[in-house]
Structure 1
């Protein structure tokens, strides 16, 4: 394996559950030893009843910043069209202080049309949304540098997406973490593209933590002992398990944490 320490995160999908259950799920994940807890940034359930219970990402993150004590916290990922980029920076900085320096800022261009249209945001084209993401990044960085007080910790920037011409270029230029959702063969190819962009901007690709969601990779579902080493050898070091309500099955998270502990031993 690579020399990178393995980390395991849980993406809490705040659908079909009361907030008390979401809070308890985060507490259980922290007690199990999860490194990061993410909350997705959608306005409606993506599975089950499309009109089922659902909660907003950033207010849930602020509450979890108070109710947890060790895990890193952030959105996976926050769409820049839903909130002013300067406001996003301020929100992330505030949560960083609430949590004692445990926040990360995950950003992306968005993809779920219902989120946009139901809340009055223009959906536009993929190209337009990527342009908006590119325009948002310097605003976020400028605002973070101006805020008083500044972030309490490093406040890493994570970018989600894998478009080879534009998104991966933004990752090479600005991201501390790159998040993808691909099988190992695709990850291998995307990393080769990312490394070329890093060479173009004269950045060491080792500075960028590679994260991937592992739930839903059907060929390897529930087998971290098989999938984990293969992805880790490619350079992935943050493995993210998803769980949605109403019951939030943390069985897969336990399996990935057990594999992490063996891999890091």
Structure 2
């Protein structure tokens, strides 16, 4: 948000040439949730496909897709297209959708004619969506799906994603209900940083849910999103070190706009290399 395509493309192309940076992410909002509320913002998946076509190495994704915006079968088709365009570099991020306590996020639903259901509906819908999307990516025959929140007749995906059996699924969120969905469906789980003690407790809760399902908790990679200050990188460095020590091996650094010249190289030199 508050940036144009040329700026995002510049940063991603620069990052694509820096081996220390393994992955790059967009977010999924239709109106800005910070800065000028009427400022520019591009649709995340369309932009991701364009950036996939202009990069060669970076793994890429949306951190995270709002399950409230698109029907799951449509989202599965969009994600497959990005995996094909990228040559199999997609990490598929998905979550419940905007928090109910964020007024700037809530307005984008009314502004686009989209319903905003309660949390129980949203979490149940997310779980069914993960099932539908995985089946569309992997099943070789059309199928029907009759869930509580989603119903499909003759559902089928062709082509399949490049990655087999399917792109890694990243579920984002911190609520216990979302963690249950992550325990069942996620290859990676992402949580915003901040209160590390709470983050660690949430990770332990995910461990418990995985165990209850008969799943090895270590099979879910722990991912954390940390904000970056260009003027004061020290706190970010400290946060990276603490997160890694707590078992988070997948670190996403949030870069504020406007992006300085050479910002990807700066990230590698000032934040990634010292941390490793």
What TM-score does the superposition give when structure 2 sets the normalisation length?
0.82
Structure 1 231/204 Cα, relative in aligned 2: closer, same or farther at 3 Å?
Answer: same
Query: Contact conserved, 1:16 with 1:244, CA < 8 A, in 2?
Result: no
Distance in 2, Cα, partners of 1:88 & 1:228: 32
Query: Contact conserved, 2:13 with 2:54, CA < 8 A, in 1?
Result: yes
Structure 1 221/132 Cα, relative in aligned 2: closer, same or farther at 3 Å?
Answer: farther
Task: Select 2:68's aligned residue among 72, 81, 85.
Answer: 81
What TM-score does the superposition give when structure 1 sets the normalisation length?
0.85
The reply on whether 1:132 has 2:120 as its aligned counterpart is: no
Query: Following TM superposition, where does structure 1 have runs of at least 4 consecutive aligned residues deviating by more than 6 angstroms?
Result: none
Distance in 2, Cα, partners of 1:173 & 1:248: 40
The Cα shift of 1:123 comes to 1.2
Task: Select 1:64's aligned residue among 32, 51, 61.
Answer: 51
Structure 1 158/257 Cα, relative in aligned 2: closer, same or farther at 3 Å?
Answer: farther
Residue 178 of structure 2: aligned partner: 167
Residue 217 of structure 2: aligned partner: 205
Residue 18 of structure 1: aligned partner: 4
Point out the structure with max Rg over C-alpha. 2
Residue 145 of structure 2: aligned partner: none
Residue 52 of structure 1: aligned partner: 39
Structure 1 23/239 Cα, relative in aligned 2: closer, same or farther at 3 Å?
Answer: same
Task: Select 1:196's aligned residue among 204, 208, 220.
Answer: 208
Distance in 1, Cα, partners of 2:246 & 2:37: 36
Unaligned stretches of 5+ residues in structure 2: 99-104, 140-156
Distance in 2, Cα, partners of 1:221 & 1:113: 32
CA RMSD of aligned residues (A): 2.2
Distance in 2, Cα, partners of 1:173 & 1:118: 33
Which structure would you say has the larger RCO, counting Cα contacts within 8 Å and 6 or more residues apart?
1
Greater CA drift, 62-71 or 29-38: 29-38
